[in-house]
Structure 1
Amino acid sequence: MFKKGGSLSYQPWLYSASIDGCRFVKRPYHPIALIVYRLFKPFSNLNHTCPYEGSILVKGFYLRWNILPNAIPTGEYMLSMNWIFSNNSTLLTNAYFVFKEDA
């Protein structure tokens, strides 16, 4: 997770984790990955354990704030995910969003 700083570049913010996706899908074990998984699962075909064959699709995704555990400070954010399969970096996903606290 990155937050845009004063220099107008994204800086690491709050969370950084490496997750074994096959292990995680069998039995979710990391709280931050669980939040991200709950955000994407209803919009994807990530519904079975490894080995995962075929395309992984995400369609119609929108950010549902009620899944986030706590409010975050007003700002511009980037959730960056590097997907590694069989020890090879396969896909880099960046999701950008702006959050504004209620006044």
Structure 2
Amino acid sequence: MNFQCSMMIAGVIYLMFFPMHSVESSRIDFTNIKCTSVNKEFSDFEYCFLKATNRTYKYLSLKVRLYKIPIHQFTVNLGLHKRSNGLMPFSQNVTFDGCKMVADLGNPFVLFLFALFKPYSNINHSCPYTHDIIVDKLPTHFVNQQFTRYVPFPEGDYVFNSNWLTNGKNRAIVRVHFSFT
């Protein structure tokens, strides 16, 4: 028996008798959502809430009624902040054209963010938008699967802030509070 073969057998025996400790995966938990319509003549939130149906299933839902349609152009400004004696910027603010985001998913960061809610939203086509915007029952477990697969995050409380603009004017603010454990 050569040295490599004996080391392989020793490694298998070691793993059998001294199993590796399982690594707990990180977990996101929605803690709050706040939706603000800046110009109620342009749009308003019909509903915006988190709901926990049991200990393990929590989801986010919102519906924005658009009063001045069609919308041919919109811009989104995103920021992530960590709570630590106030809100501290955790990453760069990102601003992008929302119509181009859906038409051309070339930016990997924007593609990643879009994948977080795409199956649960009607934001699935490029401009113009002639209907209300809905995110329907986006579950925490889906965000966990998408988010924790790619992004290593330190534990803590975070706020995901998004500003939705048309024609250079802020129309809505959506803030999602979550904890990462």
Q: TM-score, normalised by structure 2?
A: 0.51
**Counterpart Cα distance in 2 of 1:36 and 1:62:** 15
CA distance in 2, matches of 1:41, 1:18: 19
5 Å-filtered alignment, 1:72-91, equals 72-91=153-172
- Which of residues 63, 81, 94 is equivalent to 1:2? 81
After superposition, where does 1:49-60 map in structure 2 within 5 Å?
49-60=126-137
Any runs of at least 4 consecutive aligned residues in structure 1 with deviations exceeding 3 A, and if so which? none
Bigger RCO (CA 8 Å, 6+ sep): 2
- Cα distance between partner residues in 2 of 1:85 and 1:54: 15
Question: Residues of 1 paired with 2:92 and 2:146: CA distance?
Answer: 17
Provide structure 1 residue ranges, at least 5 long, that are not aligned to the other structure. none
CA-to-aligned-CA distance 1:59-97 (integer Å, 9 cap, x gap): 111232221212211000111010112322111111110
Return the alpha-carbon distance in structure 2 between the equivalents of residues 32 and 56 of structure 1: 22
Stretches of structure 2 that go unaligned for 5 or more consecutive residues are 1-79
Partner Cα distance (1:97, 1:21) in 2: 24
Asked if 1:28 is matched to 2:105, the reply is yes
Q: Percent identity?
A: 29
Deviation string for 1:16-49 (max 9, x for gaps)? 1001001111101322222221111111101111
**Between Structure 1 and Structure 2, whose CA radius of gyration is higher?**
2
Query: What is the number of equivalent residue pairs in this alignment?
Result: 98
Q: Distance in 2 between matches of 1:12 and 1:70?
A: 17
Which residue of structure 1 lines up, in the alignment, with residue 69 of structure 2? none
Question: Within the alignment, does 1:65 sit opposite 2:144 as a pair?
Answer: yes
**1:37 pairs with 2:114:** yes
Please give the root-mean-square deviation of Cα atoms over the aligned residues, in Å. 1.3
More strand by share: 2
Q: Matched residues in 1 for 2:81 and 2:102: separation? A: 24
